[in-house]
A and B are shown apart, each in its own frame.
Chain A
Amino acid sequence: MKPWIWGAAALIAAVVVPSFLDPAGYPIRVLTLTLLFAALGQAWNIVGGLANQISLGHAAFFGIGAYTSTILLIHFNLSPWIGMLAGAALAALAAYLLSFPTMKLRGHYFALATLAFSEVLRVVASSWTSVTGGPAGLSVPYAADSLALLQFKSTTPYYYIILGALVLICVVFLVIQKSALGYRLRAVKENPDAAEVIGVDTTRVKITAAVISAALTALLGTLYAQFTYFFDPEAVFGIVAISVRAAIIAILGGAGTLAGPLIGAFVIVPLEEFANAALSSRAAGLSQLVFGLMLIAIILVEPRGLLVLVSNGIARLRKGRKG
């Protein structure tokens, strides 16, 4: 089958599925979260996969999105749709400014710098209590079911809105991949000096990717805040909760590919959710522990991701049958 047929089939399935599920039930909640984190992985993928800049700080942009829209809603009664755009703009600006000091950094150094950035925002969110609510976090005030205020009692509307965001981010990813920017990103990823010498403005290419990725991540932050109604600094600025999860979802599935984050999210998020439901009553942290162990195991077995692992496995099976 051609890839687009897979895509169309998946999309139709995604549109139809909620009609079989209880709109206030647990399964649709897990599915919605899965789509949200697939989208987050895809947004990360623009920087981490296409440009191979391993960001450990995407929580910074996610948190900016969540806090900006929610603060605007609480204090100015501004629709989260507008707050979402404001958050995206702010995140884009933050990414733009952060690009200058981190421009030349690669590998471990880049990861260090981005992680430090998000940690600082987390600390600011925890201490600037008058605006951010401090460590206690913020609650999104519920008025009534309203598309304009982006709030609903049922999960189903969130599901479709977040599905829309996922589709949007996947389309952005595809367009970038096929465009001149995508080719240039590959050049920058493989050999920045050679790219410059044949006319690629490597600085501009990297900044463009970082800004797009950050803005999209912030959109998801707003959606997350509206969906969960409550968040604290750890939930949206957390290293593990957001930054690492975004990266792992993309890497597990296969960084730099369109399908990668989708596969990664559909493996990790349900697994984590069910582990949480099954284990958390016994010990806080057990599901996270499993997550960490899985992460180490994956890296040690096949750091290029499940896609490669599965396709290698299939190739080996075929060989085995022939021989």
Chain B
Amino acid sequence: MAFLQAVIDGLMIGGVYAVISIGLTLVFGVMGIVNFAQAEFLTLGMFVAFFAWKYLGIDPLVGSLISFVLIFGLGVLVQMTIIQRVLNAPPVAQIFVTVGLLIVIENLSLIAFGSDFRSVTTSYQTSALRLGPLFISVPYLAAFCMSLLSGLALWLFTNKTWYGRAMRATAQDPMAAHLMGINADRMRQIAFGLGVGMTAFGGAVILPYFTVHPTVGHQFVVLMFTVVVLGGLGSVAGAVVGGLVVGVIQSVSTLFFPIQLQNLVLFLVFITVLAVRPTGLIGAAR
């Protein structure tokens, strides 16, 4: 029964992992760039939702929309001013530009918000649903549902709208997309904005059960890498399955190992997948 409970917990948190990792995989899929600063946008998303709660009294689950919109805009800006300029640069330049971004965002939030730990209080924070012998924590369930909805919205956007299709066309063949009259630069801005916006959204929905501070992103770095590598870098569907799998692995592994070794277990999964099949076990790459 403990095992089943762990699986359920894992799925709940895994849904969130999926959403925050979709951003990383989306950016890679469209631009071939691994955004090492991705986790920092999660931090920013949490801060936005925190301040929306504190000063406007908005519940983080609703505030997550504000996080998404603001960070989407920020992402578009970052793409226009920085990432765009290294699109055709060697990998070393691409890697260090996003690493630079990581350092800048982390320290900007440190300067702006200080190193305090902050958390919200909500009415549903400690409640849980009871299903026979199993419990489902309400904030976890809420975050999971919000993730599910955002994933669905993203899927509708990429598959059912002109913009979404144009974005995918740009990912597959920028030249052909250009010939079809698609503004590839604009599509990359949207992709980057969506990518970091989704991650920020994911950060906001976990706020009811997670404290925010400027280096909170560190905890998600290995995790996000594992999710996207498991699912295949560039594959959105892969990230969804990868997120759920990682959530379950993490949750179940705590039954057998001390909680501190969670990351070690994840790393072993990560490195094994990279070694055996760098294109991912789940989705086809790109």
* A contact residues vs B (CB 8 Å cutoff): 52, 54, 56, 98, 100-109, 111-113, 115-117, 119-120, 123-124, 126-128, 239-240, 244, 247-248, 251, 255, 283-286, 288-289, 291-293, 295-296, 299-300, 303
Contact = CB atoms under 8 A, between A and B. Distances in A.
Given A101-B271, A113-B271, A300-B85, A108 B95 contact: yes
A296 B97 contact: yes
Interface stretch (B47-55, B133-141, B158-166, B259-267): B259-267
B258 interface: yes
Contacts of A299: 86, 89, 93, 96-97, 100
Given A120-B263, A127-B258, A113 B274 contact: yes
A300 B107 contact: no
A115 B89 CA distance: 21
B238 to A, nearest CB: 15
A52 B258 CA distance: 38
Nearest to B105: A292
B73 interface: no
B222 interface: yes
B260 A124 contact: yes
Given A119-B222, A292-B103, A296-B101, A54 B264 contact: no
Interface string B243-280: 00000000000000010110110010011101100100
Nearest to A255: B92
A288 B274 contact: no
13 contacts: A100-B275, A101-B271, A112-B225, A113-B270, A120-B267, A124-B264, A240-B99, A240-B103, A286-B111, A288-B106, A296-B82, A299-B93, A299-B100
Contacts of B183: none
Nearest to B96: A299
A244 B102 CA distance: 11
A104 B36 CA distance: 21
B104 interface: yes
Contact of A111 (B82, B95, B104, B108): B95
A105 B33 CA distance: 15
A111 B37 CA distance: 13
B111 A283 contact: yes
Range, interface on chain B: 35 or more
Contacts of A105: 274, 278
B92 A117 contact: no
A293 B100 contact: yes
A284 B111 contact: yes
Contacts of A54: 91-92, 95
Nearest to B99: A244
B99 A285 contact: no
B222 A128 contact: no
Given A54-B92, A127-B261, 8 more contacts: A100-B275, A111-B91, A113-B274, A115-B221, A116-B270, A124-B263, A292-B104, A303-B90
Contacts of A120: 222, 263-264, 267
A289 B108 contact: yes
Contacts of A116: 221-222, 225-226, 267, 270-271
Contacts of B274: 101-102, 105, 109, 112-113
A292 B85 contact: no
Given A112-B229, A296-B104, A285 B110 contact: yes
B103 A123 contact: no
A33 B86 CA distance: 32
B194 interface: no
Contacts of B106: 240, 285, 288
B124 to A, nearest CB: 30
A267 to B, nearest CB: 15
A129 to B, nearest CB: 9
Contacts of B258: 127
B34 interface: yes
Interface string B1-44: 00000000000000000000000000010001110100000000
B94 interface: yes
Contacts of B221: 115-116, 119, 239
B115 interface: yes
A237 to B, nearest CB: 11
A303 B93 contact: yes
B92 A289 contact: no
Given A105-B274, A116-B270, A292-B101, A127 B89 contact: no
A285 B107 contact: yes
B272 A101 contact: yes
Contact of A109 (B92, B264, B278): B278
Given A120-B263, A127-B258, A295 B99 contact: yes
Nearest to A123: B263
Q: Which 3 A-B pairs have the closest CB atoms?
A: A127-B260, A292-B103, A101-B275
Max count, chain A CB within 10 A of own CB: residue among B94, B233, B271: B271
A87 B199 CA distance: 38
A288 B107 contact: yes
A189 to B, nearest CB: 12
